[in-house]
A and B are shown apart, each in its own frame.
Chain A
Amino acid sequence: MSKLVASIKEAIEQCGLKDGMTISFHHHMRNGDYVLNMVLDQIAKMGFKNLTVNASSIFDVHEPIIEHIKNGVVTGIECNYMGAKVGKAISEGIMDKPVVFRSHGGRASDMEKGTSVIDIAFIAAPTSDDMGNCTGKVGKSACGSIGYAFADAMNAKKVVVITDNLVEYPLVDFSIPEVYVDCVVAVDQIGDPAGIVSGTTKITRDPVGLKMASYAAKVIEASGLLKDGFSFQTGAGGATLATAKYVKEMMLEKGIQGSYGMGGITGYMVDMLQEGCFKALLDVQCFDLKAVESIRTNPKHMEVSATQYAGVSGKSAGVDNLDVVLLGATQVDLDFNVNVHTDSNGYIMGGSGGHCDTAAGAKLAIIIAPLTRARLPLVVDRCLCISTPGKTVDVVVTQRGIAVNTAGGKNQELKQKLIDAKLPVVEIADLKRMGEELAGVPKPIKMGDKVVAKVIYRDGTLLDEIHSVK
């Protein structure tokens, strides 16, 4: 028996695609992904219409989806993140149905709870055997972890694995087992390696970013959480990665052995694992080649599913035990709500990813962002979109001051600790004032009437709506 079929067309036929169905994709190929475009082009050729695309993320490389929307092939999008190119088109109102934004944890959990139904999942796999045992750890398009694809594989009615490295059965050390897979397609290339993972992820040299990072590291130190058993998540962004550098130095200097590092994993987190800062890494996505190499060779560097990383449908998740998470923001408002979905003009250019999941789970959720960005202040009266509720955010770190969220009487002790550590603690309103002093008070943005996206919180409730840009 073999599940190998000759083409994507054959796989689509075999899985019984019909108009109006929902198809899904993962984003581990990131901006190098060929699979989403390849599948949609084939579907369009076959004349299907009115499909919903549920992709964990939509990147700029997926710009051709705009034509499929205009032609009625795609009439719905559900995702956790949307890059600026497709985001702009959506914000301009090209699609009738609003985009449904979830978080990484929320997407997986909604599939598991059955509130998000996937008819056919197309899983890009850097290596697979002909029965569908597949992995991202090896192959010419290796991306490391394929943690976001687990929920698709386990919950979709039909599952198609698309690979550019077909190996003999059985594939050793698979991530997704054959039991979920209906058919396998071999293609020449599933992605452009240059866009899948970076060669190296470098720490920012921007002095303002380094200043913020130094403050964030001092906040972590002063919080008292930096001790044996410490668990930590940081992104691959400039200032957050620089914070990890400072945290690592403190951990090594004080001989602290943490418990786990989590999230999208960079080479920098791998260094921390290798140098004994953590006992393990829980990896839902690899950002660079060093992380890919590590997950392939180091048993302490573990691949986890989106559910185990950040979901609410399991009995527990990694985020629930997280001590500290460092997160970015395009806007923060006076209630500490954070926007990572739209830019300051209201155009969609991002999404929660794991932002709201980790903020909700971590003991200390730190937002790190410059006080002004592109000549606009970071802190506003009300965010254009609430991506992460302020009640889950503890501290906002900028280069000119640190605000602690003490709403409802929480974090009073933390605030005092930061003051005692001689950190520049101010109120969130002070950050707003300072930003406006530097950049002026921005004119209010007038949004259109049409709802172009709905932001669904990790528990399934509606968090906010994004309106069209006028």
Chain B
Amino acid sequence: MRRSMLFIPGNTPNLLMNGDVLGADSIILDLEDAVSPAEKDSARILVRNALKSLHYKGCEIIIRINPVETDYWTHDLDEIIPLKPNMIMPPKVSCAQDVKTVSEYIAKLEEKCGFEKNTVKLIPLIETAMGVENAFQIASADERVAALFLGGEDLTADLRCKRTKEGNEIFYARTRLVCAARACGVDVYDTPFTDVDDIDGLYTDAQFAKSLGFSGKASISPRHVEGINEVFSPTQAEIDYAHEVMETIRIAKEQGKGVVSLRGKMIDAPIVERARQVIEMEKAMFGGTEDDE
């Protein structure tokens, strides 16, 4: 389950040490924008040591490396891959080749470390106009790609428009990414809401992202994590309905019925699939229910 992804600057020991207690499903340990060029080395070492010595229980680890056009990204991967993070987030990915470049380098390191192939997944950060236009190619570039992530700040700079709370300027990019990701069967994550103090605004933005089809949302502030988790969690009514759907299907199968309906509505494959997803989320959130035992 990945509803919230929290950015943690790679040069903040206190936050690195407490990354797993802040409520986020995933934490993104950042070696890129949060770290000035003078601190790249020390942040990389700090993140490496954090991965070595901290458990990060119940929390997925994503490392945002530096972009492929810099000299840093291979050093980042050299240090980080041996510690087997769950995912690598290459930033400013504009085309399929960017993904392949990173993936091939990771493959070599995986082999060197004796890891199974494609152990470490990729979540390309798409934050350029070119990246948005190439979203489908990026999502389908490599088996390693498990999700796409939209970066609204750099994108609006590239689009030469102002980033607003309403987000009209990134509407196209949002829907384009959702469509590309879903077409490739991977997850898709929305850009952070950057006004840290505006919790109401965060809810509105997250609800809108969910309505477009995003799997979850990133955050630059721990204060947003709870709201994001709440928005991207199924409601109790949705959970109850999902169990009802599965129960109806089970009874129908027992009775040998082909077509069944619930509350006057036919239960077709997409409804069953949605119910299954909701129950999976429920299991991840609460550790399963009596129904599953």
Contact = CB atoms under 8 A, between A and B. Distances in A.
Contact of B223 (A208, A210, A400): A210
Contacts of A205: 223
Contacts of B54: 438
Contacts of A206: 14
Interface string B244-263: 00000000000000000000
Of B15, B21, B223, which is in contact with the most chain A CB atoms at under 10 Å from its CB? B21
Nearest to B15: A207
A372 interface: yes
A438 B222 CA distance: 21
A145 interface: no
Contacts of B15: 207-208
A372 B223 contact: no
B18 interface: yes
A210 B222 contact: yes
Interface residues of A, number: 11
A157 interface: no
B22 interface: yes
B21 A399 contact: yes
B21 A400 contact: yes
Contacts of A372: 17
Q: How large is the interface on B (under 10, 10 to 19, 20 to 34, 35 or more residues)?
A: 10 to 19
A399 B18 contact: yes
Contacts of B23: 211
Interface in B188-230: 221-223
Interface in B47-105: 53-55
Contacts of B221: 207
Interface string B2-19: 000000000000110110
Contact of A208 (B21, B53, B55): B21
Interface string A419-441: 00000000000000000011000
B22 to A, nearest CB: 5
A372 B53 CA distance: 15
Contacts of A208: 14-15, 18, 21-22
Nearest to A398: B21
Contacts of B18: 207-208, 211, 399
A206 B23 CA distance: 14
A400 B23 CA distance: 11
Contacts of A437: 55
Contacts of B21: 208, 211, 399-400
A410 B174 CA distance: 56
A160 to B, nearest CB: 47
Contacts of A438: 17, 53-54
A206 B21 CA distance: 13
A112 to B, nearest CB: 44
Contact of A211 (B17, B22, B53, B55): B22
Nearest to B225: A207
Nearest to B23: A211
12 contacts: A207-B15, A207-B222, A207-B223, A208-B14, A208-B22, A210-B222, A211-B18, A211-B22, A211-B222, A399-B21, A400-B21, A438-B17
Given A207-B15, A208-B15, A437-B55, 4 more contacts: A211-B18, A211-B22, A211-B23, A372-B17
| Smallest CB-CB A-B distances: 10 pairs | A207-B222, A399-B21, A208-B18, A207-B22, A211-B21, A400-B21, A399-B18, A438-B17, A211-B22, A208-B14
